Amino acid sequence: MTLQADAAAFVSTLTFDDLPQDAVRVATLGFTDTIAALLAGRVESVTYATEKYLAQTTTPGGPVVTRALLGASEYQAEHSALLDAVAAHALDYDDYAFANHPSSIMVPAILAAAQIVGADGPAMITAYVAGYEVWAEVMAREPDHLHSKGWHPTATFGPLGAAAAVASLLGLSATETSHALGLATSYGGGVMENFGSMTKPYHAGRAAEAGMRCCFLAQSGMTASPTAIEGPKGLLAALSPDRNADLTRKAKFGTFWHIGKSGLNIKKYPTIGASQRIIDGILGLSGRGDFDLDAIKAIRPRVSEKYAMLMNNPDPNSASEAKFSLAYACAAALRFGTVSLATLSDETLADPLLRTLIAKVEVDAVNEYDPDYTIPAPYDMTTVVFNDCTEVQTEKVRRATGHTDLPLTSEQLEAKFMDCSRFGRLEDILAVELFAKLQSLPELININDLMVVQR
């Protein structure tokens, strides 16, 4: 069997009882953190712009079958997935794994599809794991750095993950699932040049919408190549920067679980994942509160060349740009003693001392890489140099707080959830109830129990 056929067979037969406990735990974490990010992102400009577009394109009297933004709006299923995924990725505060943002695409697609079939928590978790495993298996076959070529992997492979998750929930046959996955390869696309703009969260929305559409098309009889993923002219081969993608290795669906190995990295700070270790290091500096910030001559973060490329915005002029700026991450951590939703605003970005510190950041990009992760260096650290030539260094940070090897505590996760919900103007009483339901997702009786939000 081909990779695509193996993936389809796995998705169409996977049940909740098949899942390792680690998979259930990670999926529950993914739903919880994604909905936190969605709550915060629902008041962002990109979300409002998407809603305005949907209002202009929705046919009056047409089929409105699902609720979006956890109950605040109603749309056709594909549009609900689009809107929720845009909101979940709007602030770039959502989780990441294997250099992708799996949850902000799969969870919105699952929320929409679950409403169609009245799914319970176990079915939603099963769908998440199905999508995760297919997505991770495909991504693992590319040894080179897609970002350096200009591809945004979340956008290029996201439709596959969403299609696999939705196919699981809708109960598609193996043949239909294969067609849905093949169709999804024709939606893969998204370039790095759009980082720092509204188009980046739209990448997530487009992928979630596409995954759903491909499943509906497959149900309606649409067909695709059975090797659209791994064929010599398929998605993997077409994207591969140096054509090194492994097109022949036998997949081990159901015997090897990517979700248990890779898990999820939960962001403690609402900035690109590549900045998390640097922020941790600066905030952990001994005596940082006593620094004379005006006496700083230079700030020198040490990161890998690939990380530096992802954060190459030395003079951010908007909150969206600041999220992808290593200079901002360093300066904000020193200036405010935190990097949070509150420090990421256009008003805060205009702070004179912050701007001065941003201009003093000198990135030290090194060609060294962690043997277990091909993008970051073995560690990140920062050197702060003062006018009198004295300097202080952060510790060498190998894993950021929230990394799958250094997970947030339950208290930290709940604190992030509440911070996001307040940013999104959700009443605390509703947020507390919602968090509890998400933490008990394996016992959730019906998806409608999560549709509790007002705006």
**pLDDT given at position 59:** 72
**pLDDT tens by residue, 316-326:** 999 989 999 99
Q: Are 270 and 91 in contact (CB under 8 A)?
A: yes
**Confidence band (pLDDT; 50, 70, 90) for 455?**
low
Parallel, antiparallel, or unpaired for β 391-393 and 381-386? antiparallel
**pLDDT given at position 72:** 87
pLDDT above 80 (res 140): yes
- Cα within 13 Å of Cα(349), Cβ side: 17
**pLDDT tens by residue, 185-215:** 999 999 999 998 999 999 999 999 999 999 9
Residues 35 and 435: their CA atoms lie apart, in Å, by 9
**pLDDT given at position 448:** 93
**pLDDT given at position 290:** 83
**pLDDT given at position 414:** 98
**Confidence band (pLDDT; 50, 70, 90) for 346?**
confident
**Confidence band (pLDDT; 50, 70, 90) for 63?**
confident
First CA to last CA across the chain, in angstroms? 49
Residues 212 and 194: their CA atoms lie apart, in Å, by 24
**Confidence band (pLDDT; 50, 70, 90) for 384?**
very high
CA angle, residues 419, 422, 428, in degrees to nearest 5: 100
How buried is residue 58: exposed, middle or buried, by Cβ count under 10 Å (0-12/13-18/19+)?
A: middle
Q: Between the CA atoms of 91, 191, 237 and 5, what dihedral angle is there, to the nearest 10 degrees?
A: 40
What average pLDDT does range 142-162 have in this prediction? 95
What average pLDDT does range 299-321 have in this prediction? 94
Mean pLDDT of the chain, nearest integer: 95
- Residue 384 tokens read as 């702060």
pTM of the predicted model, to two decimals? 0.95
Contacts made by residues 339-342, CB under 8 angstroms, sequence distance 24+: 339/269, 339/270, 339/271, 339/279, 339/283, 340/269, 340/270, 340/419, 341/40, 341/91, 341/93, 341/270, 341/419, 341/420, 341/423
What average pLDDT does range 289-307 have in this prediction? 95
**pLDDT given at position 453:** 73
Task: Flag the least confident range among 73-82, 213-222, 250-259, 445-454.
Answer: 445-454
Diameter of the chain measured on Cα atoms? 72
Nearest to 335 by CA among 392, 289, 387: 289
In this predicted model, which residue has the larger pLDDT, 260 or 289? Answer: 260
Residue 67 phi, psi dihedral angles, 5° rounding: -105, 140
Residues composing the chain: 455
Nearest to 14 by CA among 91, 115, 126: 126
Residues 328 and 358: their CA atoms lie apart, in Å, by 6
**pLDDT given at position 233:** 96
Task: Flag the least confident range among 52-56, 166-170, 384-388.
Answer: 52-56
pLDDT above 90 (res 289): no
Buried b / exposed e over 373-392, threshold 16 CB at 10 Å, is eebbbebbbbebbeeeeeee
Residues 172 and 9: their CA atoms lie apart, in Å, by 10
What average pLDDT does range 320-347 have in this prediction? 94
Amino acid of residue 452? V
Residues 134 and 201: their CA atoms lie apart, in Å, by 22
Q: Are 399 and 406 in contact (CB under 8 A)?
A: yes
**pLDDT given at position 454:** 61
Buried b / exposed e over 256-268, threshold 16 CB at 10 Å, is ebbbeebbbbbbb
